[in-house]
Amino acid sequence: MARDLAGFVGALWRIDPAGGPGPQAGNAYRGVPMGDPCPSVAADARIRPLIAALDGLVDTNGLIAVWEAALAAPAWDGPPVWIHGVDEATWARGRGWGLAMTLPSTAEFADPDRAARARRVVEGFLADLSSRRR
């Protein structure tokens, strides 16, 4: 499976992205810098209040660390590609985008099953950040 995945990622790297769609609502403004003020799911003004609302339910300090690491990561400075490589900045931005797109709402904690899933999502981001900092 790993070889198949590597082949797939390699094929994506070889596709010429010229003429592809730029950041827009239909692709969640992917390609804009992390925290950009455009109406992106990853806008800093959107993420911080969502994290704050989870105080007491999950490790919000940890989530802030994940988010701030994403914001601090340098923007992609290579040529346009459909999928980026796996350097540390890419991982940090990827965690930030993942967090922005899957951050649980407080409503999810009203149901025990959904709360357990939400905590697993949060714990995954925290564990990934922790493993990368070693």
If one counts the domains in the chain, the total is 1
Query: Measuring CA to CA, which residue among 2, 19, 26 is closest to residue 82?
Result: 19
Residue range(s) defining the domain that contains residue 50: 2-132
CB 36 within 8 A of CB 75: no
Q: What is the pLDDT of residues 43-52, one digit of tens each?
A: 999 999 999 9
40 Ramachandran zone, left/alpha/beta (phi>0; psi -120 to 50): beta
Q: What is the pLDDT of residues 14-32, one digit of tens each?
A: 888 888 877 777 777 777 7
Q: How many Å apart are CA 123 and CA 120, to the nearest integer?
A: 5
Q: How many CA atoms does the CB half-sphere of 134 hold within 13 Å? A: 5
